[in-house]
């Protein structure tokens, strides 16, 4: 199949990239990024793009499925407006272009607690993104809702590292829904869902990825 991956440089996106390149079911992988990827592979194409000005006529929008792992934090983005631009606006721009070119399946990393009516800004934006994606007419839409994502981040602070280590230690004692979701498991869930392309909207909750 021909797969389109957005967010290939992030903690989950890197895992999707590695797994997709190793997966015999994926014949071609297109991963548009803002900066060059360090990875090269015969079936990988990685065009450089600006997400504020995506190339609407690029032929690589026409794929069998899209996996979107674009995302940031309010702290890293610098403001709520910038956070929403990445997690909502960029994701919707990608989805609209892929759908306009006939791509039938879309899978995205959302968040446990995503709700457009949430009083918490982060979960409200995630919920609005999910709701807006549902209006675009994809034959298959997968919403992966992890809790705390486990994986190496360049900007991970010491306090976050300690918290993640404690949760990992307590993992066997916690309900599955409260355990860390390792990034390789999130990536596998997204990849399998995108390739399978099950009709309708599917939610993969954190317990399924723990």
| Spatial distance between the Cα atoms of 13 and 112, rounded to a whole number of angstroms | 18
Determine whether 43 is an active site residue: no
Which of the following is catalytic: 43, 75, 90, 122? 122
Phi, psi torsion values for 193, nearest 5 degrees: -65, -40
Out of 75, 76, 90, 126, pick the active-site residue.
Answer: 126
Q: d(Cα 65, Cα 135) in Å, to the nearest integer?
A: 17
- The dihedral sign for the CA sequence 45, 51, 55, 59: positive
122 is catalytic: yes
Q: How many helices (H) and strands (E) does the chain have?
A: 7, 9
DSSP string, 2-63: EEEEE-TTSHHHHHHHHHHHH-TT-SEEE--BSS--S---TTEE--B--TTS--TT-GGG--
User: Annotated catalytic sites, by residue?
Assistant: 122, 126
């Amino acid at each position: 199949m021909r797969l389109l991956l957005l967010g290939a440089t992030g903690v989950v996106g890197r895992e999707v990239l590695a797994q997709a390149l190793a997966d015999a079911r994926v014949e071609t992988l297109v991963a548009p990024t803002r900066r060059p990827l360090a990875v090269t592979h015969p079936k990988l194409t990685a065009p450089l793009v600006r997400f504020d000005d995506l190339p609407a006529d690029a032929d690589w929008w026409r794929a069998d499925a899209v996996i979107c792992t674009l995302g940031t934090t309010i702290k890293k983005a610098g403001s709520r407006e910038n956070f929403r631009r990445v997690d909502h606006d960029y994701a919707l721009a990608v989805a609209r272009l892929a759908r306009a070119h006939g791509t039938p399946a879309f899978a995205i990393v959302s968040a446990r607690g995503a709700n457009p009516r949430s009083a918490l800004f982060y979960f409200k934006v995630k919920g609005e993104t999910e709701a807006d994606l549902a209006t675009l007419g994809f034959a298959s839409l997968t919403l992966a809702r992890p809790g705390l994502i486990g994986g190496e981040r360049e900007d991970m602070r010491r306090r976050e590292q300690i918290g993640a280590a404690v949760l990992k230690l307590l993992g066997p004692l916690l309900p599955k829904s409260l355990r860390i979701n390792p990034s390789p498991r999130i990536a596998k869930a997204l990849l399998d869902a995108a390739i399978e392309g099950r009709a309708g909207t599917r939610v993969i909750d954190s317990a399924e990825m723990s």
